[in-house]
Amino acid sequence: MNVHDSEQLTELLKGSGYVRTDSAKEADLIIVNTCSIREKAEQKVYSQLGRYRQIKMAKPGVMLGICGCVAQQQGERLIEKLPFLDLVFGTHNIHRLPEFISRVGKTGRPVVETGFHETVPSIGILAPPERGAVSAFVTIMQGCDNYCAFCVVPYLRGREESRKFNDILAEVKALADGGVKEVTLLGQNVNSYGKTPGNGHSFSELLRAIGGIGGIERIRFTTSHPKDLSDDIIDCFRGVKALCESIHLPVQSGSDAVLARMNRKYTSADYLDCVRKLRGACPDIAISSDIIVGFPGETEQDYQKTLDLMGKVRFDTLFSFQYSERKGTAAVGFDGKVNPDEKRRRLIGLQSLQDLHTREKNDKLVGKTVEVLVEGTSRNTPQDVMGRTRTNKIVNFAGGSDLAGTAVRVRIVDAFLHSLRGEMLD
Ligand code: SAM
Ligand code: SF4
């Protein structure tokens, strides 16, 4: 979501005559787009701003700004702490960046804007991917109303709002006309799409409609909440050809007591039921998840229940985190804080188990033929190209950069923890 917000900022700035550079030293304007989901992400921002301050001091006239969740949370306090900043703007004010730049230019004083709007105006900013890119992000909703006890998102991204059905279809159509073959639909909880009053269309209707747009070969979405994964959505894995055989379905914990305290509104049995139905509709579906260890009150038995659930599901990949206390969330007031060493031990144990499962899944693909959508040259070996299977696994194989953007058949010859090696058949 943050990557897409940055794409939108880049698009907006084109209108003010800016061009993108990958070198901060060359830049006249540096915007740090931030995340504050965990404390570590937030700390990184401060060290990065310190480095950019050096650039600003060496080159007067450079404007330095911060946006996203840290900006939303800290607002004015950031200017007090870091007086060299020119711009601080929150998650609902992205669309006003050109106006903010001209205000700083005219007044020489910093601008701070962190207000919330009823409707998020940036939802409609079209940010086509770079020329030649085959994949694009499409925002279908903003904000979140779920209030999981550990999470800052509802406080920093505002109320849940679904984007208009026809606007989404028009954007996907325009992307397809421009050569995009794969779209990833974005939202904090995409499968509750359409629940905002007055929208009138469900997520499954949206998937079916996008599946009917010529040129779109692959549809992905992120993130889904297990409590809103309806049979109708699961059915799309049978009926919508372009829908990739892959889903990210965060479980967070395998213990019902922890899930209840997290305010997730499902049990581990409900989650396993979702997995059973998904595999019934689509036997080869790849399932990935998020898990938090060391949530307040999590006992050794609770932790073991999470490992048990992992054994039952056997995720393809997993994003796992130590619980990080976030100001303003309900869990701040919970008893039973788990000490940092114990959280680390649990995370290491869980990650080693997941590594076994990931290897097991990848090893099973050796000898199989898969469809790979080529993204471009491999990062480390220029004579190879890199692409992804429909199940979202990275495959490297020998091939020229002219393959970028094409879907080819590849036989898998070797498997590693984070990628696969293949040979092109076409
Ligand atoms: N909306 C998604 C959902 O409900 O699953 C997740 C969005 S959040 C940006 C991504 C992941 O960060 C969560 O699934 C959770 O595992 C993790 N996360 C969120 N808050 C956290 C916290 N305070 N400490 C550790 N991990 C956290
Ligand atoms: Fe955060 Fe996701 Fe829960 Fe919303 S559903 S509060 S974004 S974890």
Contacts within 8 Å (CB) and 24+ apart, 81-87: 82/46, 82/49, 82/53, 84/53, 84/56, 84/57, 85/49, 85/110, 86/110, 86/111, 87/31, 87/63, 87/111
Q: The dihedral of CA 169, 223, 418, 8: what is its sign?
A: positive
Ligand 2 touching residue 188 (CB < 6 A):
yes
| Location of structure tokens 């689509």 | 282
Task: List the structure tokens of 380.
Answer: 């480390």
Ligand 1 touching residue 151 (CB < 6 A):
yes
Q: Whose CA is nearest to atom 14 of ligand 1?
A: 290
Which among 385, 386, 413 has a CA at the least distance from the CA of 399? Answer: 385
pLDDT band at 347 (very low <50, low <70, confident <90, very high): very high
Ligand 2 touching residue 189 (CB < 6 A):
yes
Give the whole-angstrom CA distance, residue 277 versus residue 271: 10
Ligand 1 center from residue 37 Cα (angstroms): 7
* DSSP string for 186-209: E-TTGGGTT-STT----HHHHHHH
Ligand 2 center from residue 181 Cα (angstroms): 29
Per-residue confidence (pLDDT) for residue 126, from 0 to 100: 73
Query: What's the pLDDT tens digit per position in 358-415?
Result: 999 999 999 999 999 998 899 888 899 999 999 999 999 999 989 998 999 999 999 9
Q: Whose CA is nearest to atom 2 of ligand 2?
A: 188
pLDDT band at 122 (very low <50, low <70, confident <90, very high): low
Q: For 284-338, what is the HEC assignment?
A: CCEEEEEEEECCCCCCHHHHHHHHHHHHHHCCCEEEEEECCCCCCCHHHHCCCCC
Query: What's the pLDDT tens digit per position in 170-216?
Result: 999 999 999 899 999 999 999 999 887 656 899 999 999 999 999 99
The ligand that comes nearest to the alpha carbon of residue 39 is 1
Ligand 2 center from residue 149 Cα (angstroms): 9
Which among 107, 184, 294 has a CA at the least distance from the CA of 99? Answer: 107
Per-residue confidence (pLDDT) for residue 379, from 0 to 100: 84
Per-residue confidence (pLDDT) for residue 86, from 0 to 100: 97
Question: Residue 81 contacts by C-beta under 8 Å, 6 or more apart in sequence?
Answer: 74
Per-residue confidence (pLDDT) for residue 131, from 0 to 100: 64
Query: What's the pLDDT tens digit per position in 290-344?
Result: 999 999 999 999 999 999 999 999 999 999 999 999 999 999 999 999 999 999 9
The answer to whether 293 and 343 are in contact (CB under 8 A) is yes
pLDDT band at 118 (very low <50, low <70, confident <90, very high): confident
| Pairing mode, strands 317-322 and 87-89 | unpaired
Per-residue confidence (pLDDT) for residue 195, from 0 to 100: 83
| pLDDT averaged over every residue in the chain | 94
Q: Which amino acid is at 379?
A: R
Q: What percent of the chain has pLDDT over 70?
A: 97
Burial tier of 341 (Cβ tally within 10 Å: 0-12, 13-18, 19+): exposed
Ligand 2 touching residue 220 (CB < 6 A):
no
Query: What's the pLDDT tens digit per position in 209-268?
Result: 999 999 999 999 999 999 999 999 999 999 999 999 999 999 999 999 999 999 999 999
Per-residue confidence (pLDDT) for residue 364, from 0 to 100: 97
CA distances in angstroms from 367 to 88, 104, 273, 274, 413, listed in the order given: 52, 59, 31, 30, 6
Per-residue confidence (pLDDT) for residue 218, from 0 to 100: 97
The answer to whether 230 and 207 are in contact (CB under 8 A) is no
Per-residue confidence (pLDDT) for residue 40, from 0 to 100: 86
Which among 315, 306, 320 has a CA at the least distance from the CA of 254? Answer: 306
